[in-house]
Amino acid sequence: MPELPDVEVFRRYAGSTSLHKKIEEVEVRDDRIMEGIERSDLEDLSGSEFEDPRRRGKYLFLKAGKRWVVMHFGMTGRLKYFRDRGPDHQKVMFRFENGYNLAYVCTRVLGKITLTGSPREYAEENDIGPDIMDIGRKEFVSRLSGKRGRIKSALMDQSLMSGLGNIYADEVLFQAGYHPGERVSDIEEDGLEELYGVVQDVLSAAVEARADPGELPDGYLIPLRGKEGKCPRDGAELKRIRVGGRSTYLCPKHQRMR
């Protein structure tokens, strides 16, 4: 689930629960979740406080002392703030002096936690493009134009611009009326400009809905994924195909190749 809207929800959640509280203890319960750091590196955060939660694409950054904790949520990661008993699959626990905990929960262990000197440093070292909600129409178009692949793959290319995943890429293309397999080079500049607006609208709406599919505006594709649904726009039977190796849902009626 964790794409840009979900991670933005996590960012706000961390911001409203876990800032400016002394971290008394860090407990790593699964070493596989750490990338390029040791257990002791996280434990060394004891005594500091979280501040300044930031997000870039699907990455969350929490400042702690001089360092920044980097969290990526894979397919099943999330945060949970609690006092007594938390959910299963807690991988890293940050225990605060008030007796509460912030747990990094990750069922499938595809997420990761690491440390960096700054979000910008991490993004540069790991080739993470600018946040897709943080670029203007011109940059959006210039980054896409010249690409030879399919529009869905390009939108999901985190080095190009970051934040869109499989689910919201489908939603954006559904709303914009583009076939996910369309070649970027076959889309006019006007089309890319229009797509930019749809990206911003869909992601804004998703954040406003707190990334809850049930809270999305009417006419969205996401709640119909996986079901034998009909297109809310024209009643056509939704189709499932594969694009770039990923499951892709679309309406064959109004998302035609041009």
Partner DNA sequence: GTCTTTGTTGGCAC
Partner DNA sequence: AGTGCCAACAAAGA
How many residues of this chain bind DNA (CB under 7 A)?
33
**Which residue's structure tokens are 């001089």?**
66
Check residue 57 for interaction with DNA (CB under 7 A). yes
Residue closer to DNA, measured from CB, 74 or 229: 74
Exposure string for 101-133, b = 16+ CB within 10 A, e = fewer: bbbbbbeeeebbbbbbeebeebbeeeebbbbbb
Residue closer to DNA, measured from CB, 58 or 95: 58
Q: Of residues 1, 19, 205, 207, which one binds DNA by CB under 7 A? A: 1
Residue closer to DNA, measured from CB, 74 or 252: 74
Check residue 246 for interaction with DNA (CB under 7 A). yes
Q: Of residues 103, 135, 156, 192, which one binds DNA by CB under 7 A? A: 156
User: In angstroms, what is the minimal distance from the CB of 56 to DNA?
Assistant: 11
Q: Which one of 17-25, 46-54, 72-80, 96-104 is the stretch in contact with DNA (CB under 7 A)?
A: 72-80
**Which residue's structure tokens are 């964790």?**
2
The mark string for 23-42 relative to DNA (x by CB under 7 A, - otherwise) is ---------x----------
Restricting to residues 172-231, name those near DNA by CB under 7 A.
none
- The answer to whether the CB of 112 falls within 8 A of the CB of 72 is yes
- From the CB of residue 32, how many other CB atoms can be counted at a distance below 10 Å? 11
Check residue 72 for interaction with DNA (CB under 7 A). yes
Q: Of residues 74, 129, 177, 229, which one binds DNA by CB under 7 A? A: 74
User: In angstroms, what is the minimal distance from the CB of 11 to DNA?
Assistant: 15
Distance CA 93, CA 258 (A): 50
User: In angstroms, what is the minimal distance from the CB of 23 to DNA?
Assistant: 26
Q: Of residues 37, 110, 224, 236, which one binds DNA by CB under 7 A? A: 110
Check residue 11 for interaction with DNA (CB under 7 A). no
Angle at 68 between CA 80 and CA 20, to 5 degrees: 60
Residue closer to DNA, measured from CB, 67 or 147: 147
What is the spatial order of strands in the sheet that 23-28 belongs to?
23-28, 90-96, 101-106, 77-82
What is the contact surface with DNA in residues (CB under 7 A)? 1-3, 6, 32, 57-58, 72, 74-76, 88-89, 107-110, 126, 146-150, 153, 156, 158, 165-167, 244-247
